[in-house]
A and B are shown apart, each in its own frame.
Chain A
Amino acid sequence: MSKPAMQLVNLKKTIGSKPIIKGLDFEIRAGEVFGFLGPNGAGKTTTIRMMVGLIDITEGDVLIEGKSIKTNFKGAIQHVGAIVENPEMYPFLSGWKNLKQYARMVEGVTDERIKEVVSLVGLEKAIHEKAGRYSLGMRQRLGIAQALLHGPSILILDEPTNGLDPSGIREIRKYIRNLAEKENVAVIVSSHLLTEIELMCDRIGVIKNGELIAIEEVRTVENEEALKEVYIEVEPMETAKTYLDTHLPNAVGVGSKELSMSVKREEIPQILKNLMEQGISIYGVRVLQATLEDKFFDLIGENSIE
């Protein structure tokens, strides 16, 4: 693996005497989409604010392309494009003029580049309207455009799909994946929406009460050999029950019309075959996926804010 695009080294933040972030240690690689997941109040936004130097770091450091945000702010931040919380714009300026504002703050962003970014986020039609009239979705797009202007190697998006309609979410998701895969940008996406994160991220870091409690590769979730909840709708009930009582005593529970059991994925075909051989009709089989959501709640436990 190449060197990390961003590195958090024992990152801590204390406000007053209260520790908000209690020592984060992880890295984000170039070309990956990293999901930063946690319940509200877990410290996602605080961490992101430290990543971009908006708030002081109490202890530890954030290294961006090897440069410390603390000691080399300019060197570090020039690789970063970000939306922190809501994509706020000057309401009295047009979308184009908003982008021009930010373009003037870095070297070498031409009008052509602005046009390019605008078409990337699909905002050509409304770009000369006042940003104050934009819908949340349009502001979100403008926010992403703003973050991409200077061609950063790290993109930080705080709740990027907030306020977007389903098609907008899909577009943004596709676009984020594209950036990571084709342009090797490291994308950090924070969210409390699990399904969103699951769909677009390669790796997920889960944060709770200021601590990182897990880092997972998204794909591993599905491959796991865990027991699954299987529901089978059968008739006649009695026969099926007797059969299962004798053959699978540990794994059986009975509902009114359905049998439910916890078995491994590979066992399912054999069970169905056996049931049919007994002359039992099967009307349906449901497998409850152990989704990220379950994992998430297993990890988080109760959503308590200390």
Chain B
Amino acid sequence: MKLIWNEQIKLYAKKGTWVMFALLLVIAIGGGLITKFFGTESDFKEYGDNWQTELQEENAQLTAEMQDEEFGGFMNEMIIAENSYHLENNIKPQPYDGWEYVLENSFLTSVISLFTIIVAAGIISNEFKWGTIKLLLIRPISRTKILLSKYVSVLIFALTLLIFLLLSSWLVGAVLFGLNGLNPMVVQDMMTHYVHNDVLGEIAKSYGFSIVTLVMMATFAFMISAIFRSSGMAIGLAIFLMMAGNTIVAFLSQYEWSKFILFANTNLEQYTNGMEPTIPGMSLTFSIIVLLVYFAIFMGAAWAAFTKRDVAGN
């Protein structure tokens, strides 16, 4: 649709947008370099055919180290535990590679959330700031369509950032660490236990779940932007809630109704890999319903504010 095309042109004509992409790239490269040069030795270690004996020797050595030294025991314990997991389940450990780097970088989706919030917050309020909203709304196009085109535009932008992050992480990872095949298996530390999965599935899951938070926060910022017509307020509120969300939930978790708070439900990953939900009594279906209700409220409020209200003076 031409309206969405219009929005994308406006978006990419601004320097700020390119700065966002540049920042992501810098972070991806920087993170890669840091992992490469300051990462733990054991991560990169390559094991031969008789890796079982190598691992056993390593464990014995580490145990000895622990008895000698009072400190640093925690690190050693972790490595021993991981090595034992490999031994028990007969999985040959693989050196750290590009795929794993992509997986690790899934935490950067919060940066994408941040950028998306900024864009979502600005996409309506900026039109008011520039005064161009008046020229936009006197075309033979309904306000609902204009609103929708802006929302879809935000989502496309978020998706573009996400793909950009995936590709740049993968490239950086591949160049710095190499790749262990097309879809290697990875062992992940889930705090209480270890899991072993194929990496592509894990990447999809980890990025996929982050999209939930991303979309919810973007929609929230979009709504604030439509209601208050001020990008500052929208950015501030959305970022504050994104940062403080988990704290708020933790703070209120003693109350029964806290499970209805948006942020208790955005992290759908809590239902996978055998983890415990934040607040007892929540289930995946429950969270999805809560999320949908919030989503509907956000969109409804944005729509009502945008289509019903007068566009008065500056």
Contacts and interface: CB of A to CB of B under 8 A. Distances in A.
Contacts of B6: 101, 104-105
Interface in B291-314: 310-314
Interface residues of B, number: 26
A297 interface: no
Nearest to B314: A85
Contact of B134 (A74, A78, A88, A90): A88
Given A73-B142, A105-B6, A55 B13 contact: no
B131 interface: yes
B13 A74 contact: no
B135 A92 contact: no
B142 A90 contact: no
Contact of B130 (A54, A73, A74, A90): A90
A53 interface: yes
A127 B302 CA distance: 35
Contacts of A173: none
A146 interface: yes
B194 interface: no
Interface in B1-55: 2-3, 5-6, 9-10, 13-15
Nearest to A55: B310
A167 B14 CA distance: 34
Nearest to B1: A104
Contacts of B130: 88-91
A54 B138 contact: yes
B311 A97 contact: no
Nearest to A51: B138
B4 to A, nearest CB: 10
Contact of A104 (B5, B14, B131, B142): B5
Contacts, number: 76
B9 A101 contact: yes
A104 B138 contact: no
Contacts of B3: 104-105
B138 A52 contact: yes
A86 interface: yes
A87 B91 CA distance: 68
Contact of B139 (A75, A89, A97, A106): A106
B280 interface: no
Contacts of A56: 310
B137 interface: yes
Interface string B170-196: 000000000000000000000000000
A102 B313 contact: no
Contact of A88 (B10, B132, B141, B312): B132
A62 interface: no
Contacts of A75: 140
Nearest to A83: B135
B138 A106 contact: no
A73 B162 CA distance: 39
A172 interface: no
A45 interface: yes
A187 interface: no
A77 interface: yes
B140 A77 contact: yes
A54 B134 contact: yes
Contacts of A52: 138
Contacts of B314: 85
A56 B130 CA distance: 22
B143 to A, nearest CB: 9
Interface in B101-144: 130-132, 134-142
A88 B139 contact: no
Given A53-B137, A55-B312, A106-B139, A86 B131 contact: yes
Contacts of B312: 49, 55
B293 to A, nearest CB: 30
B138 A92 contact: no
Contact of B140 (A78, A89, A93, A101): A78
A105 B5 CA distance: 11
Interface string A54-93: 1110000000000000000111011010101110111111
28 contacts: A49-B310, A49-B311, A54-B138, A54-B310, A54-B311, A55-B310, A55-B311, A55-B312, A56-B310, A73-B140, A74-B141, A77-B138, A77-B139, A77-B140, A85-B314, A89-B130, A92-B10, A92-B13, A93-B9, A93-B10, A97-B9, A97-B13, A104-B5, A104-B6, A105-B136, A105-B141, A106-B139, A146-B135
Interface of A: 45, 49, 52-56, 73-75, 77-78, 80, 82, 84-86, 88-93, 97, 101-102, 104-106, 146
Which 10 A/B pairs are nearest by Cβ-Cβ distance? A88-B131, A55-B310, A78-B140, A105-B139, A104-B2, A54-B311, A74-B140, A52-B138, A84-B134, A92-B13
Given A101-B6, A104-B5, 4 more contacts: A49-B311, A77-B138, A85-B313, A89-B132
